[in-house]
């Protein structure tokens, strides 16, 4: 049975609007906050809301009773996919104009882009939820509970702080800066201070270092534990030079070693990490956003990854994906699929028959670009997990051990101390052995370099919402150092202005908060 948070009906969390003032407002929870925060169950329902806010947009099936108004009305994970994958060599969107994704696809966005705005306001909606929970976790607020209940609620507070740190990390990665608010921020008549990259980095790292040792080593599935916190630290530190101008490679190695010390292991079957039974893969999956059709049906999250990849331009292949409806939203671009050893790498999970690997026409052309079936709604037995018009039973793994292995290896190549080069190479080869099913996938020390690592991350972490971040870190996202078809809006690809390494703060936010500026835009 999949363990997943079910939102209590009395704890539907709503914000009045999506403007900047919401950053210093108290979310209205049920009838009154006093009612919700009078019981452990009430606190738990708010924590559930915080976790589910990455996959869901409202309290009703399919997104009804939306938490905030937004231009595109999609969940956080779907929005992140569009911002992290569509401008890169990984995904080619087929309905550009209808879904307002032309500027994202062609790297030509500005401060009025609807998807950029949606990402920003949904992130800070989640921050508002965490701050409200934490305001009700002070010693005074918890004094009326029993010792056992107070211990439970203190753990909830640690989990909320993790989710806030995770959310601020995404804001840092996308925007390079953000308004800073926490549980001590005044709730009215307050304009948040703008934190730059170094300030956000220090805040996130400080939260990780404080809460990680106090979180459970082996938490309930889909809840944050020590592994999730240290994995977030590893991802933050690996990209630290982008955010702060200073290398944090040694910190990345240290965080990776802390994750590995918790006893995780690679799943033997790569495909089972992305199917409808992937909640069983707790050996490798460190933290996931859990959804299922019965309790949390969504058009986004893994539903988008599965139905969006499933082609609707030819043969009926929905049985391969375990969904009843093929959306056909996106294909892979040829540059990413050409990185695989197509005959021997078990991660090459693409439909190729009748399709061209590269584009000769517009990016919307249906049969150009291979279709991925890495993500499915199939059980371990190969059966469709649920038959429905909306939603799948597949969870989204936010952190897994293979990423930690690759992060540690790259950090060593970038000068990180605390792990030898040979140890780092062993980690890469463990990932490669799993992919090939034999030692044939192993690389030599001579092959072990940064150029190899960016390609290997593309193969291993395909469509896991990391490609833009990786390409920025390697100096390949906006520059001519690496071109892919339709980069910059031309079929052969071209460099674009360096400002596109980050997204702009939405124009509506700039109008409301004079502390924020888009210097590059």
User: Do residue 363 and residue 279 come from a single domain?
Assistant: no
**Number of domain units in the chain:** 3
Task: Classify residue 101 by its DSSP letter.
Answer: -
User: Do residue 514 and residue 371 come from a single domain?
Assistant: no
With DSSP H G I counted as helix, E B as strand and the rest as coil, what are the percentages for the chain, rounded to 5? 45, 5, 50
Angstrom distance (rounded) from CA 415 to CA 329: 40
Domain containing residue 437: CATH number: 1.25.40.10
What is this structure's pTM? 0.94
Residue 435, domain extent: 211-288+398-474
The answer to whether residue 100 is domain-embedded is no
User: Do residue 27 and residue 159 come from a single domain?
Assistant: yes
User: Do residue 259 and residue 333 come from a single domain?
Assistant: no
User: Do residue 508 and residue 407 come from a single domain?
Assistant: no
- Higher-pLDDT residue of 17 and 298 is 298
The answer to whether residue 15 is domain-embedded is yes
Burial 431-459, CB ≥16 within 10 A → b, else e? bbebbbeeeebeeeeeebeeeebbebbbb
From 372, 394, 416, the end of a domain falls on 394
User: Do residue 347 and residue 377 come from a single domain?
Assistant: yes
Torsion region of 217: left, alpha or beta (phi above 0 gives left; psi -120 to 50 gives alpha): alpha
pLDDT in tens, 369-412: 999 999 999 999 999 999 876 789 999 999 999 999 999 999 99
User: Do residue 379 and residue 503 come from a single domain?
Assistant: no
Burial 343-368, CB ≥16 within 10 A → b, else e? eebebbbbbeeebebebeeebeeeeb
Task: Classify residue 420 by its DSSP letter.
Answer: -
Quick count: other Cβ atoms within 10 Å of Cβ 319?
A: 14
pLDDT in tens, 222-262: 999 999 999 999 999 999 999 999 999 999 999 999 999 99
Q: Which of 246, 258, 256, 249 is nearest to 213 (CA)?
A: 258
Specify whether the CB–CB gap between 15 and 22 falls below 8 A: yes
User: Do residue 259 and residue 297 come from a single domain?
Assistant: no
User: Do residue 295 and residue 284 come from a single domain?
Assistant: no
User: Do residue 376 and residue 427 come from a single domain?
Assistant: no
Q: Where are the alpha helices (DSSP H) in 310-420?
A: 318-321, 334-337, 401-413
pLDDT band for 1, please (50, 70, 90 cuts).
Answer: very low
User: Do residue 495 and residue 521 come from a single domain?
Assistant: yes
| HEC per residue, 43-90 | HHHHHHHHHHCCCCCECCCCCCCECCCCCCCCCHHHHHHHHHHCCCCC
Domain containing residue 10: CATH number: 1.25.40.390
Cα Rg of the chain, angstroms = 22
Averaged pLDDT, 78-85:
98
pLDDT at 313: 86
The answer to whether residue 2 is domain-embedded is yes
The answer to whether residue 102 is domain-embedded is no
Decide: residue 26, CB within 10 A, 0-12 exposed, 13-18 middle, 19+ buried.
Answer: middle
Angstrom distance (rounded) from CA 467 to CA 471: 6
Averaged pLDDT, 45-53:
95
User: Do residue 84 and residue 177 come from a single domain?
Assistant: yes
pLDDT at 344: 98
């Amino acid at each position: 049975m999949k363990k997943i948070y079910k939102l209590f009906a009395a704890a539907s969390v709503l914000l009045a609007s999506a403007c900047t003032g919401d950053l210093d407002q108290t979310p209205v929870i049920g009838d009154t906050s006093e009612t919700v925060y009078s019981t452990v169950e009430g606190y738990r329902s708010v924590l559930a809301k915080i976790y589910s806010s990455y996959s869901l947009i409202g309290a009703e099936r399919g997104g009804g009773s939306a938490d905030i108004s937004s231009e595109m009305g999609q969940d956080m994970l779907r929005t992140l996919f569009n911002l992290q994958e569509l401008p890169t060599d990984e995904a080619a969107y087929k309905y550009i104009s209808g879904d307002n994704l032309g500027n994202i696809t062609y790297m030509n966005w500005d401060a009025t882009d609807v998807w950029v705005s949606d990402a920003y306001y949904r992130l800070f909606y989640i921050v508002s939820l965490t701050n409200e929970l934490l305001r009700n976790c002070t010693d005074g607020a918890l004094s009326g509970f029993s010792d056992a209940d107070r211990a439970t609620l203190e753990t909830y507070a640690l989990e909320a702080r993790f989710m806030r740190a995770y959310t601020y990390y995404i804001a840092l990665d996308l925007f390079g800066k953000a308004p800073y608010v926490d549980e001590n921020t005044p709730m009215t008549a307050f304009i948040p201070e703008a934190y730059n990259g170094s300030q956000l980095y220090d805040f996130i790292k400080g939260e990780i270092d404080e809460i990680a040792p106090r979180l459970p080593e082996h938490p309930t599935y889909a809840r944050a534990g020590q592994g999730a916190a240290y994995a977030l630290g590893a991802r933050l530190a690996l990209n630290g030079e982008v955010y702060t101008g200073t290398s944090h490679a040694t910190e990345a190695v240290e965080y990776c070693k802390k994750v590995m010390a918790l006893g995780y292991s690679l799943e033997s079957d790569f495909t089972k990490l992305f199917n409808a039974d992937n909640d069983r893969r707790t050996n490798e999956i460190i933290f996931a956003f859990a959804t299922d059709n019965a309790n949390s049906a969504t058009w986004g999250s893994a539903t988008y990854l599965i139905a969006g990849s499933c082609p609707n331009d030819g043969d009926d292949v929905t049985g391969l994906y375990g969904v009843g409806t093929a959306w056909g939203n996106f294909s892979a671009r040829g540059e990413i699929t050409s990185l695989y050893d197509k005959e021997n790498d078990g991660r090459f999970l693409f439909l190729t028959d009748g399709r061209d690997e590269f584009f000769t026409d517009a990016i919307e052309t249906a049969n150009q670009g291979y279709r991925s079936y890495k993500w499915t709604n199939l059980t371990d037995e190969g059966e469709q997990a649920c038959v429905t018009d909306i939603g799948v039973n597949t969870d989204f793994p936010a952190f897994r051990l293979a990423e930690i292995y690759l992060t540690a290896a790259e950090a060593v190549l970038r000068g990180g101390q605390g792990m030898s080069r040979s140890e780092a190479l062993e980690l890469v080869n463990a990932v490669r052995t799993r992919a090939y099913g034999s030692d044939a996938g192993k690389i030599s020390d001579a092959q072990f370099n940064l150029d190899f690592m960016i390609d290997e991350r593309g193969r291993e972490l395909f469509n896991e919402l990391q490609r833009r971040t990786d390409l920025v870190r390697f100096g390949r996202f906006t520059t001519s150092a690496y071109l892919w078809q339709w980069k910059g809006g031309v079929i052969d690809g071209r460099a674009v202005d360096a400002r596109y390494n980050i997204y702009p703060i939405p124009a509506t936010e700039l109008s409301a908060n004079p502390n924020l500026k888009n210097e590059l835009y």
